Amino acid sequence: MPEFSFELNEEQKSVRDWIHGFAQDVMRPAAAEWDEREETPWPIIQEAAKIGLYSLDFYAQQFFDPTGLGIPMTMEELFWGDAGIALSIVGTGLAAVGVLANGTEEQVGTWVPQMYGDANDVKVAAFCSSEPDAGSDVASMRTRAVYDEAKDEWVLNGTKTWATNGGIASVHVVVAVVDPELGSKGHASFIIPPGTPGLSQGQKFQKHGIRASHTAEVVLEDVRVPGDCLLGGKPKLDERLARARERDALSAAGAERVKNAAMATFEASRPAVGAMAVGTARAAYEEALEYAKTRTQFGRPIIDNQGVAFQLADMRTQIDAARLLVWRASWMAAAGRPFTAAEGSMSKLYASETAKKVTAQAIQILGGNGYTREYPVERMHRDSAIYTIFEGTSEIQRLVIARTLSGMPIR
């Protein structure tokens, strides 16, 4: 395993510059238009597919980068370009990772290619987990999957919400309850193939930010899928449920240890969201810096004023600190080192809070101009709000960190 380094290697630098070029030349010129349209930017996704940026192969290469920095580097550059368009490009990865993590080799080979399509016919996929009454509280999930043994089919009913690409996806990956008595341990994931009867798009959300990314409810009404659409297969599910029932017989302390082990697994995905936040924060900082150097008041650039210069100094310091937390957690995950202090949640918490703060400061530096849509910092500030909400709110991150550090079941 490579030692941790603050310096990207030559291959990583080449990839970073390639992504940066796409973000600068293709994404940024189109960002304001697609934000106003509040529609999926299919032409931009197609351009990404043509050069190989929207493909399973590319993201697999970055995911298996032995330094762990491939994914955060990619996310930072794309979200530096534009958060809404970037989420439209990377959103399919949520569903793909769900299949890669839980599916059989046959399921991976069958369904993941269908999630992306090709440069001439791009597709997207959706990962559907959250529900109207079950966001962070996954134990309250109500979507049910019942096995019809006579037909070897699963029947799904329920409503999912906040689903990126929900309803417009070629393939949906849906998390559902298969054993209500086991709470969050009684869940399983299912592939819903294209055109399956009973799946429909519910409400499409009109959002404050990341408006180029499609977010909607997904309604499942007697959706029937073949038995082999259960990720991992039924024998594996039956074995896992049996183990979970045995764990329920453990002492309360033992059960809490099992719960914390599961929580640690979720930690591994959070640095990627932190990297998205770093990208948006960096973009706003760069806009503010350039503006402060060229905007003159009272006969001199406003950066000559300590009040502005010190804000920019703080902004850059916070961005660099956030990136270092993200890189540390990403490297630890790739090295197989446990997050003994909830380092994954730390990176996501600090980076997301930094994005909100830095984009707000950027607006302040630009003054009235920053408050208009003529300048991109207004959009960046709206986009930044999501980072403290999705993939676990800032409050949930603090709870995870506090529980990890104290070993106590803090409520």
**pLDDT by position in tens, the chain (length 411):** 556 677 899 999 999 999 999 999 999 999 999 999 999 999 999 999 999 999 989 998 998 999 999 999 999 999 999 999 999 999 999 899 889 888 999 999 999 999 999 999 999 999 999 999 877 677 789 999 999 999 999 999 999 999 999 999 999 999 999 999 988 889 999 999 999 999 999 999 999 999 999 999 999 999 999 999 999 999 999 999 998 888 766 544 444 443 433 333 345 579 999 999 999 999 999 999 999 999 999 999 999 999 999 999 999 999 999 999 999 999 999 999 999 999 999 999 999 999 999 999 999 999 999 999 999 999 999 999 999 999 889 999 999 999 999 999 888
Q: Which of 3, 256, 391, 395 is catalytic?
A: 391
- How far is the C-alpha of 393 from the C-alpha of 226, rounded, in Å? 35
For 187, which DSSP code? E
Cα 284 to Cα 196, 289, 316, 397: the distances in Å are: 42, 9, 10, 24
Contact status, residue 345 vs residue 267, Cβ threshold 8 Å: yes
Question: With 0-12 CB in 10 A as exposed, 13-18 as middle and 19+ as buried, what is 251?
Answer: exposed
- How far is the C-alpha of 351 from the C-alpha of 318, rounded, in Å? 8
| Alpha-helix residue ranges (DSSP H) falling in 51-128 | 56-63, 70-81, 83-90, 92-102, 105-116
Name, in order, each residue with C-beta under 8 angstroms of 283's C-beta and a sequence gap of 6 or more. Answer: 79, 80, 81, 376, 380
Place of tokens 């300048």: 375
Q: Which segments of the chain belong to CATH 2.40.110.10?
A: 125-232
- How far is the C-alpha of 45 from the C-alpha of 276, rounded, in Å? 18
- How far is the C-alpha of 130 from the C-alpha of 174, rounded, in Å? 10
Q: Which segments of the chain belong to CATH 1.10.540.10?
A: 10-122
The maximal CA–CA distance of the chain, rounded, in angstroms, is 82
Topology annotation, domain 10-122: Butyryl-Coa Dehydrogenase, subunit A; domain 1 (1.10.540)
Question: Taking the alpha carbons of 179, 184, 185, 188 in that order, is the dihedral positive or negative?
Answer: positive
To the query of whether residue 105 is one of the catalytic residues in this protein, the response is no
User: If DSSP codes are grouped into helix, strand and coil, which group holds residue 251?
Assistant: coil
- How far is the C-alpha of 54 from the C-alpha of 363, rounded, in Å? 32
Q: What is the pLDDT of residue 329?
A: 96
User: If DSSP codes are grouped into helix, strand and coil, which group holds residue 301?
Assistant: strand
Q: What is the pLDDT of residue 304?
A: 97
Q: What is the pLDDT of residue 21?
A: 98
Q: Is residue 21 within a helix (H) or strand (E), and if so which, with residue range?
A: helix 10-22
Total-model pTM: 0.92
The CATH homologous superfamily for domain 265-406 is Butyryl-CoA Dehydrogenase, subunit A, domain 3 (1.20.140.10)
Q: What is the pLDDT of residue 265?
A: 37
Q: Which segments of the chain belong to CATH 1.20.140.10?
A: 265-406
For 179, which DSSP code? -
- How far is the C-alpha of 234 from the C-alpha of 150, rounded, in Å? 14
- How far is the C-alpha of 92 from the C-alpha of 164, rounded, in Å? 8
Check whether domain 125-232 has CATH 3.30.300.20, yes or no: no
